[in-house]
Amino acid sequence: MALKVIPIEKAFMFFEPGPVLLVTTKAGGKNNVMTLSWHMVIDFTPRLAVTTGPWNYSFANLLAQKECVLCVPALDLAETVVRIGSVSGMKVDKFKEFGLTEKKAKTVKAPLIKECLFCLECKLVEYIEEHSIIILEGTKAWYNTEKKEKRTFHANGDGTFVVDGNILNYRSIMEDKIPPGV
Amino acid sequence: MALKVIPIEKAFMFFEPGPVLLVTTKAGGKNNVMTLSWHMVIDFTPRLAVTTGPWNYSFANLLAQKECVLCVPALDLAETVVRIGSVSGMKVDKFKEFGLTEKKAKTVKAPLIKECLFCLECKLVEYIEEHSIIILEGTKAWYNTEKKEKRTFHANGDGTFVVDGNILNYRSIMEDKIPPGV
């Protein structure tokens, strides 16, 4: 299998740049997946905050099940990810509809997505209802060692997306700010 | 002046892709600026959530003053932004040290930064102490109409950064998800 467990302390690195995510949930024996852009790292362990709005079907599943998988798709999945974001899981089995392959996670019931670059199993820590913010804690990190396309993409909010370009290396300037194991 | 007011409903678009930000605060008559990667949009008005951790000097100023400016630097400021993130405003006047130009904001005391691509004046709505998350509401949006370099950059968390590359346009697929005015 392409997805391999990697050290959990590297997981925040996949979210800090702000890529578009796929989030899987499981409810009533059925897997669902949604597209999500509104997320941030809140600590290195890692903990993350996410929000979409309570109108969302997957969001309701996540609140009920208290677990999910945050997956980082690469550029090859871009159109699929946008299409996933445009239909509700209430009506459609999105895994079948969009040709995604479910893989069994270790610490949660929601599935990994084999076609993604990275997946993080997460437990819900808290729901801050006033702002519809969910706090998640990462429990198991999976990296797709066989994937050639490593560029992710970021939503601009107007239907356009920006793809990862060049890399800058400023490690020498900020060495004492980089957490252990990274 | 290069920075011009633009409609507030477009402001979330500068944050949704997850670029590295500069955040200005004012305390005791002195302006300060910090680098911040951990932020997310939480609604289109816009509201945003940010966190850094209570050890940070600017974070303490932001909590005390209950206002700030979130600025989006472009690629030309990348090394400056990394250097700003590596020193504390407690010891250094970072505007002077790093050659940034303060411009007067309209709704907050903290300054705009003339060299940035975009600045959003913000009021603090709430501090969620348990998770060190600050909820901000944007009050005035400024876009730098004279800036040629529009590419932003995103932190990977290990001292490397990814620069904006190609643009994908999926507006036709997701037309009914795009908020009014965008």
Q: CB contact, 8 Å: B87 with chain A? A: no
Close Cβ partners of B42 (under 8 Å, ≥ 6 residues apart): A38, A51, A131, A132, A133, B48, B49, B135
How do the pLDDT tens digits run along chain A, 182 residues long?
Answer: 589 999 999 999 999 999 999 999 998 888 999 999 999 999 999 999 999 866 677 888 899 999 999 999 999 999 999 999 988 767 788 999 999 999 999 999 999 999 999 999 999 999 999 999 999 999 999 999 999 999 999 999 999 999 999 999 999 998 888 888 89
Calpha distance B74→B150 (Å, rounded): 6
pLDDT for B7 equals 97
> What does the alpha-carbon distance between residue B8 and residue A171 come to, in Å, rounded to a whole number?
35
At B182, list the tokens: 């965008």
Closest to B133 (Cα-Cα) out of A47, A65, A8: A47
Confidence of residue B180 (pLDDT cuts 50, 70, 90): confident
User: What is the C-alpha radius of gyration for chain B, rounded to an integer number of angstroms?
Assistant: 16
Q: Are A109 and A26 in contact (CB under 8 A)?
A: yes
d(Cα B153, Cα A71) in Å, to the nearest integer? 21
- Can you list the alpha helix ranges (DSSP code H) found in B2-124? 57-65, 78-84, 94-97
> Is residue B118 within 8 Å of B141, Cβ to Cβ?
yes
Residue A54 is predicted with a pLDDT of 62
Tokens of A67: 């677990």
Report residue A3 as tokens.
Answer: 């997805």
ipTM score of the complex? 0.95
b/e burial code for range B137-172 (CB count within 10 A of at least 16 → b)? bbbbbbbbeebeeebbbbbbbbbebbbbeeebebee
* Cα three-residue angle A89-A11-A52, rounded to 5 degrees: 35
pLDDT of residue B82: 96
The answer to whether B99 faces chain A, any CB pair under 8 Å, is: no
The per-residue pLDDT for A1 is 53
Residue B55 sits at the chain A interface (C-beta within 8 Å): no
Tokens at A177, concatenated: 């700010």
- Higher-confidence residue: A52 or B23? B23
The pLDDT value recorded for residue B93 is 86
User: The domain A3-177 is classified under which CATH number: 3.40.50.920, 3.30.365.10, 2.30.110.10, 3.30.1780.10?
Assistant: 2.30.110.10
Q: For the segment B80-123, what is each residue's pLDDT rounded down to a tens digit? A: 999 999 887 677 889 999 999 999 999 999 999 999 999 999 99
In a 13 Å sphere around the CA of B84, the CA atoms on its Cβ side amount to 26
Mutation pick from B170, B173, B177 vs chain A, by most beta carbons of A within 10 Å, is B170
Min distance A149 CA to chain B CA atoms (Å): 14
Tell me the per-residue pLDDT of B132-162, one tens digit each, with 9 for 90 and over: 999 999 999 999 999 999 999 999 999 999 9
Chain A / chain B CB contacts < 8 angstroms: 196
Which is nearest to B48 in space by CA: B84, B78, B21?
B21
pLDDT at residue B29, as a whole number:
85
Spell out the residues 6+ positions from residue B25 whose beta carbon is closer than 8 angstroms to its own: B31, B32, B33, B34, B58, B61, B62, B65, B67, B68, B110
CA separation for the pair A26, A32 (Å, rounded): 6
Rounded-to-integer distance, Cα B121 and Cα B110, Å: 8
Tell me the C-alpha distance between B172 and B112, whole Å. Answer: 35
**DSSP designation for A179:** P
Q: What pLDDT shows up at residue B52?
A: 81
- From chain B, the residues in CB contact with A169 under 8 A are 159-161
Q: What is the pLDDT of residue A162?
A: 98
Contact at CB, B173 and A159, closer than 8 angstroms: yes
Quote the minimal CA–CA distance from A38 to chain B in Å: 6
- pLDDT given at position B33: 94
Beta carbons within 10 angstroms of residue A150's beta carbon: 12
